[in-house]
Structure 1
Amino acid sequence: MITIVPVETKKQLAAFIDLPHDLYANDPNYVPELFLGQQDLLTPNKHPFYKHSSAQAFLAYKENRLVGRILAIWNTNHNAFNNVSEGQFGFFESINDQDVANKLLETAAAWVREKGGSNIVGPINLTTNDTCGLLVDGFDRPPMAMMPYNPPYYINLIKNAGFNDKVDLRAYWVTTETASRRSVMLLDRLEDRLKRSGITLRQINLKDFDNEAKKIKTIYNKAWDKNLGFVPMTDEEFHHTAKDLKMIVDAKYCIVAEKDGELIGFALGVPNINEVLIKIKRGRLLPFGIFKLLFGLKKIKTVRVLMLGVLEGYRKLGIEACLYGRIIKNAIPSGIIAAECSWMLDHNYMMNHAIEQINADLYKRYRLYDKAL
């Protein structure tokens, strides 16, 4: 017998967060999420998302054994901005049992329906500004920082529950050795040409981080506003995210483009902290995980470029490719061997072309699913 239980206590929330550690116990590519970070996302009085929207977590038990979880989401800001009545689901985990998956997804759908939802989309782990998508291609390597991971059988679990493909998200892989050849040399010439028209690139100023973050937020919300499923971050949400990123951000991988001193674009990269987290048992920093984290940060060999935006009037000038190229160029002296650029919408031809200009390979694919209610 399968029982679905709403998460209402701290003990249940801890069980919700910890479930993947048991499901993926024998998967060498699994990277545990930090417990405190997951707790933050899922606790209404800790995360600013809950000031405008709501969510409900559920646990699935089969014969008194915890076998699955899901979060049903009602994002009021998303629906208002996109003029839809859409619910989402996220944090989906399940044993390889279609009945368990069906029960979880049906429960999330019923919760969304009660909110007035016409359809349900996912997996989205709170918002599209967090992690989203189901891994459907590229299971041979661990996920990069702030990217999702799941076993291949999840594809059938979701499809067999009546969900349809909505959109694919791309992740590209580029080695510094490959990118540092002809492509980066050509991008240097392109950057010189941009400079002659008043467009310059620079690293962000970490000493003025808060002001830099405010400028980037403005560009981000304007540059991404036509992307599928996009919802502008509130000031609180952006500050919350920026505060978390500040702990791992490196100015070498955070590049902005300016036209006559005004910000017109940016690219944000972070060291791939998952190289360290994969060694931290069950995502706990205490008592010894904190030392692994502190020492491991100095040995990271890969970077993830997780965010890039250029204002509409300055696109198709090569700024996007130059931003990518500058990050790769800066990474080489630090011993970085490769970077992931993710995620890009499958139909965002301009951005996909920009990353392909530095000889990046499409190596992973994620998918969002949709179901009418």
Structure 2
Amino acid sequence: MSAIEIKKVESRRDLCKFIDFHNELYKGNPYHVPNLYFDEMNTFRKDKNAAFDFCEAEYFMAYRDGKAVGRVAAIINHSANKKWERESVRFGWIDFVDDIEVSKALLKAVEDYGKSKGMKEIVGPLGFTDMDPEGMLLYGYDQLGTQATAYNYPYYPEHMDRMGGWEKDNDYVEYKLYVPEEMPEKYATIAKMIQKRYNLQVKKLKRNEIYGENGYGRKIFQVVNETFKDLYGYSKLTDRQIEQYVKMYLPMADLDLITIIEDWNTPDHKVVGVGISIPSLARALQKCGGKLFPFGWWHILRALKFHKTEVVDLLLVGVLPEYRQKGANALLFYDLIPHYQRLGFKWGETHVEMETNMKVQGQWQYLNREIHKRRRCYKKDI
């Protein structure tokens, strides 16, 4: 058998191959959800992704006998390294055929890149920031993926174990939350109490309130920054990133599925909590193969605007620390659950949550729920 050849992605054509390899590897898999092609391209392009203000990266492809057999991104997030006092190179967007020599070669390429930059450890799978897919799927292979996460075959973690030297750095869990037929009494009781006692109020957005220097789009991600600042590997979103994510997430969002909590005791009605959810795009993305044209846009539109899905994705849920103790999370779901019921959603899918984050997981305690996926980030000294 011929040796594995590692090639660095150096051109736009190479980058297209990098993206296409993943889609070819998972073609026909009933649980894999392809990403929108132009979103992927904008994420990887150094002239498009605002994360490159504080990150540097290289992408590598593995070939055997001229055929692509794997890919990986090597990323250094200088902002996160400084915050967490680590010297880490991240590996992300890793895919490979079931051949241990391929996975070894890919991770060796990341390791060599990290060493050349003075890094002391390799961690992943991680993206540029927390807004990118995180963690390698450990179980839940028979569960439909989501737009915001990455699916992988069961042999991926088997390779990590076989290679040796790798250890757990962090595990994530994902919950399936069943939409109740009636509002849980606890949510209703707490929500009414905090509205009266603390003057916390629900704000529903209008399109003309989202954009601009003082728009709610910017306020939403400022809350996200404050809420997530102490979570594993988080790096603060810059103004340019916030502008990018406002344009990415909010233009076509159903505003009924976005809830803002404001503190009306403050002169400017300070935003203290946010819940952003969208109809699941998983089936729509499968149907269009991640491409909007010629007809992919129709499948996306049907999911977003006409809610042709029984699943709702909880993309971002964040409440400022000092308001969690007051029960602001309950007020979020007290507002959102009736919308989920009206639109016919059967269950919701949480984003990845650290297994040790009991405060986040505690907010689901009044719902029928199950952990249906688990992911892991690995680390190794280099």
TM-score (norm 1): 0.95
3-state SS of 2:325 partner: coil
Q: Deviations over 1:78-129 (max 9, x none)?
A: 1122222111110100001111000000111110121111111111132222
Residue of structure 2 in register with 1:187 after alignment: 187
| Counterparts in 2 of 1:343 and 1:324: CA distance versus 1, 3 Å | farther
Instruction: Identify the match of residue 287 of structure 1 among 291, 294, 299.
Output: 294
Residue of structure 2 in register with 1:334 after alignment: 343
Residue of structure 1 in register with 2:29 after alignment: 27
- Is this contact kept in 2: 1:205–1:212, CA < 8 A? no
Deviates more, 1:102-111 or 1:261-270: 261-270
The aligned runs of 1:148-297 (5 Å cut-off) are: 148-161=150-163, 162-176=165-179, 179-181=180-182, 183=184, 185-197=185-197, 198-210=199-211, 211-260=215-264, 261-281=269-289, 283-297=290-304
Deviation of residue 296 (structure 1)? 4.2
Residue of structure 2 in register with 1:114 after alignment: 116
- Is this contact kept in 2: 1:252–1:331, CA < 8 A? no
Q: Deviations over 1:252-271 (max 9, x none)?
A: 22112122222111111122
1:79 aligns with 2:81: yes
- Is this contact kept in 1: 2:186–2:366, CA < 8 A? no
Q: Deviations over 1:284-303 (max 9, x none)?
A: 22222223333343213211
Unaligned runs of 5+ in 2: none
Matched to 1:153, the amino acid is: Y
Deviates more, 1:249-258 or 1:187-196: 249-258
Identity fraction in percent: 25
Deviation of residue 278 (structure 1)? 0.9
Residue of structure 2 in register with 1:344 after alignment: 353
Deviation of residue 205 (structure 1)? 3.1
Matched to 1:206, the amino acid is: R
4+ residue runs of structure 1 moved beyond 4 angstroms? none
Matched to 1:47, the amino acid is: N
Deviation of residue 370 (structure 1)? 0.9
Alignment coverage as a number of residue pairs? 369
- Is this contact kept in 2: 1:249–1:271, CA < 8 A? no
Q: Deviations over 1:233-291 (max 9, x none)?
A: 0011111112111244221221121222221111111221122001113x222222223
Deviation of residue 325 (structure 1)? 4.2
- Is this contact kept in 1: 2:34–2:285, CA < 8 A? yes
Matched to 2:341, the amino acid is: I
Matched to 1:340, the amino acid is: E
Unaligned runs of 5+ in 1: none
Deviation of residue 324 (structure 1)? 3.3
CA distance in 2, matches of 1:182, 1:324: 9
CA distance in 1, matches of 2:334, 2:356: 22
Q: Deviations over 1:126-150 (max 9, x none)?
A: 2222221111111112112211111
CA distance in 2, matches of 1:325, 1:120: 42
1:369 aligns with 2:375: no
Instruction: Identify the match of residue 68 of structure 1 among 66, 70, 75.
Output: 70
Matched to 1:263, the amino acid is: V
CA distance in 1, matches of 2:350, 2:330: 12
CA distance in 1, matches of 2:329, 2:68: 46
3-state SS of 2:14 partner: helix
3-state SS of 1:192 partner: helix
CA distance in 1, matches of 2:39, 2:188: 39
Deviation of residue 182 (structure 1)? 5.8
3-state SS of 2:326 partner: coil
CA distance in 2, matches of 1:234, 1:279: 34
Residue of structure 1 in register with 2:132 after alignment: 130
Deviation of residue 186 (structure 1)? 2.4
CA distance in 2, matches of 1:300, 1:182: 21
